[in-house]
A = this chain, B = another copy of it.
Amino acid sequence: MERPLDDTPFTFEEPCPIRDVLDRIGDQWSFLVLTGLEGGTMRFSELMRAIGDVSKQMLSRTLRRLEEDGLVSRTVYPEVPPRVEYALTELGRSLLEPLRALIRWADDNHRTIVLSRRRVRDAA
């Protein structure tokens, strides 16, 4: 919910910074795009191959949103055939830091989570 229960006329753009950020990187692809660009500039099709199972539809949408948020830059080279390169901005790179901490945690604890899930399932 963007709005509280009552209809107080909020003047802030976004009620909660963290929700806003998590909504973005929490979607299916933003995170993968961000980490995919970690190594440097990439073209649309390169990103597509790197991620593997993303449709151009979703990759396109995701990149556009990341660009809007200023996390990713987009450079079009007016050639034929067209070439478009994506890269992390300074802001995007800075987000990678806390993201890496999360990745590390996920790697370290995923097994435990899967086992916990299974235990619950088996009990049911």
How many Å lie between the Cα of A69 and that of B119 in the bound state?
A: 10
Interface residues on A, range: 35 or more
User: A61 on the interface (CB 8 Å rule)?
Assistant: no
How many Å lie between the Cα of A102 and that of B26 in the bound state?
A: 12
| Minimum CB distance partner of A26 in chain B | B26
How many Å lie between the Cα of A89 and that of B6 in the bound state?
A: 34
How many Å lie between the Cα of A91 and that of B53 in the bound state?
A: 30
Partner of A98 from the list B3, B25, B102 (CB cut-off 8 Å) is: B102
User: A52 on the interface (CB 8 Å rule)?
Assistant: yes
How many Å lie between the Cα of A61 and that of B96 in the bound state?
A: 30
Partner of A17 from the list B25, B52, B107 (CB cut-off 8 Å) is: B107
| CB pair B26 A22 closer than 8 Å | yes
A-B residue pairs, 4 tightest by C-beta: A26-B26, A70-B116, A17-B110, A98-B101
